[in-house]
Amino acid sequence: MTRTALVTGGARGMGAEVARLLAADGFAVAVADVRGCEPVAEELRREGGLAAAYDCDVRDWEAVADVIAAAERDLGPLRTAVQVAGVYRMVSFLEMRLEQWRQVLEVNVDGTFNVLRIASERIAANGGGSVVAISSTASWLAWDDSTHYLASKAAINGLVRGMAYELGPRRVRANAVAPGTIRTPATAPELAMAGVEEAEAAACPLGRVGESTDVAQAVRFLCDEERAAWITGHVLVVDGGYSTHGGNSGFGSTVDTTTD
């Protein structure tokens, strides 16, 4: 029987890499994003996989429900959902306006709730599976000018724990991955600035910044119905050891995904 995985934020970066690895594991992949994500779906089909692309703003409950219904109609029963879509922008707390707070919370918290809530209902109905959200080391480490982002990622950690407790009897596992500094299309320009990547790598005991595949491999593991069969309610840290000492390099000052 076909197993379908939904990947939001799948047009590029971590989401696209998650889609590739889940397709390699035999999932039919529904790729969803506010950006056009047909090129990723087409790539998966060229590699012999089953995939479809959907436009979706995760803030919109009805849009998420429509995408999940379409994915099951087009590809097959949903067994996995990975919520990668999110936004980030540095704003000093005392300069933060309500609309800036809401912009980050609506995508990162409301969007994650929408995707995981609707997907988990379908996954439970289909006999079980897993959902994975993207958290951050910012959920427990304070970053410069990022209080709204910190709050949003801490909420995701609480969400997956609560889901794991409630949905375990329905055979739905809920976990999160908490990345450190990852090279993505959004962060690459700042990493290319003089000395920035070197400073970020030096802050990591493993001596380099992360790549999208580092996060995607962790997600892949948590979605594996055999290797991760008894793991739920967990936040898996993927940061090269950065959070072992809690150093803060101030990275992210030029990153703004809220307007991208």
Rama region for 142: left / alpha / beta (φ>0; ψ in -120 to 50; rest): beta
Catalytic-residue membership of 242: no
Q: Which tokens belong to 171? A: 């055979």
Q: Are 51 and 29 in contact (CB under 8 A)?
A: yes
* Helix intervals (H) in 126-195: 147-167, 188-191
CA distance 84 to 150: 16
DSSP H or E stretch at residue 235: strand 235-238
Q: Which of 88, 149, 165, 242 is catalytic?
A: 149
Radius of gyration (C-alpha) of the chain in whole angstroms: 17
Q: How many whole angstroms separate alpha carbon 22 and alpha carbon 7?
A: 9
Strands, E, within 94-212: which ranges?
129-134, 172-179, 182-183, 210-211
Catalytic residues: 149
